[in-house]
Amino acid sequence: MKGKLRDVIEISVHDDSGDRTYRTTCTTKIGDVVYVLHAFQKKAKSGSATPKRELDMIERRLKAARKYHEENYG
Protein backbone atom coordinates (compact mmCIF):
# COMPACT_ATOMS: atom_id res chain seq x y z
CA MET A 1 0.00 0.00 0.00
CA LYS A 2 1.07 3.61 -0.30
CA GLY A 3 1.25 6.85 1.66
CA LYS A 4 0.17 6.65 5.30
CA LEU A 5 -0.46 2.93 4.80
CA ARG A 6 2.98 2.10 3.35
CA ASP A 7 3.69 -0.27 6.28
CA VAL A 8 0.49 -2.24 5.60
CA ILE A 9 0.60 -5.48 3.64
CA GLU A 10 -2.48 -6.53 1.68
CA ILE A 11 -3.28 -10.15 0.88
CA SER A 12 -5.81 -10.84 -1.86
CA VAL A 13 -7.40 -14.25 -2.44
CA HIS A 14 -9.87 -15.39 -5.12
CA ASP A 15 -12.37 -18.13 -4.35
CA ASP A 16 -12.42 -21.34 -6.38
CA SER A 17 -15.11 -20.06 -8.75
CA GLY A 18 -13.18 -16.85 -9.43
CA ASP A 19 -16.34 -14.85 -8.72
CA ARG A 20 -15.23 -13.40 -5.39
CA THR A 21 -12.13 -11.70 -4.11
CA TYR A 22 -11.35 -11.41 -0.40
CA ARG A 23 -8.73 -9.11 1.04
CA THR A 24 -7.01 -9.03 4.37
CA THR A 25 -4.75 -6.23 5.48
CA CYS A 26 -2.19 -6.55 8.21
CA THR A 27 1.04 -4.94 9.31
CA THR A 28 4.20 -6.54 10.61
CA LYS A 29 6.02 -3.30 11.40
CA ILE A 30 4.90 -2.98 15.04
CA GLY A 31 7.57 -4.78 16.99
CA ASP A 32 7.21 -8.55 16.76
CA VAL A 33 3.40 -8.46 16.76
CA VAL A 34 1.25 -8.94 13.64
CA TYR A 35 -2.00 -7.01 13.75
CA VAL A 36 -4.85 -7.91 11.41
CA LEU A 37 -6.48 -4.58 10.74
CA HIS A 38 -9.33 -5.41 8.37
CA ALA A 39 -10.76 -8.11 6.12
CA PHE A 40 -13.42 -7.64 3.46
CA GLN A 41 -14.88 -8.99 0.26
CA LYS A 42 -14.12 -6.88 -2.80
CA LYS A 43 -17.39 -6.40 -4.66
CA ALA A 44 -16.40 -4.26 -7.64
CA LYS A 45 -16.22 -6.25 -10.86
CA SER A 46 -13.57 -4.05 -12.45
CA GLY A 47 -10.45 -2.34 -11.17
CA SER A 48 -8.18 -3.40 -8.39
CA ALA A 49 -8.25 -0.28 -6.24
CA THR A 50 -9.27 -0.66 -2.61
CA PRO A 51 -12.37 1.48 -1.93
CA LYS A 52 -11.75 4.72 -0.01
CA ARG A 53 -14.08 3.74 2.86
CA GLU A 54 -11.99 0.59 3.36
CA LEU A 55 -8.73 2.56 3.25
CA ASP A 56 -10.09 5.02 5.82
CA MET A 57 -11.03 2.16 8.15
CA ILE A 58 -7.61 0.54 7.74
CA GLU A 59 -5.93 3.87 8.54
CA ARG A 60 -8.00 4.32 11.72
CA ARG A 61 -7.27 0.78 12.85
CA LEU A 62 -3.55 1.12 12.13
CA LYS A 63 -3.45 4.22 14.29
CA ALA A 64 -5.30 2.38 17.07
CA ALA A 65 -2.95 -0.64 16.78
CA ARG A 66 0.12 1.59 17.08
CA LYS A 67 -1.36 3.28 20.15
CA TYR A 68 -2.29 -0.07 21.71
CA HIS A 69 1.17 -1.47 21.01
CA GLU A 70 2.89 1.53 22.56
CA GLU A 71 0.70 1.40 25.67
CA ASN A 72 1.07 -2.35 26.16
CA TYR A 73 4.52 -3.19 24.78
CA GLY A 74 6.14 0.28 24.80
User: Where do the domains of the chain lie?
Assistant: 3-73
Residues with Cβ within 8 Å of residue 24, at least 6 apart in sequence:
10, 11, 13, 36, 38, 39
Instruction: Examine the pLDDT at 44 and tell me if it is beyond 70.
Output: no
Q: What is the mean pLDDT of residues 56-74?
A: 95
Nearest-angstrom CA–CA distance, 35 and 45? 28
pLDDT category at 23 given cuts 50, 70, 90 is: confident
Name the average pLDDT for the chain. 87
In this prediction the pTM is 0.81
Say how far apart CA 58 and CA 14 lie, in whole Å: 21
| Per-residue confidence (pLDDT) for residue 46, from 0 to 100 | 64
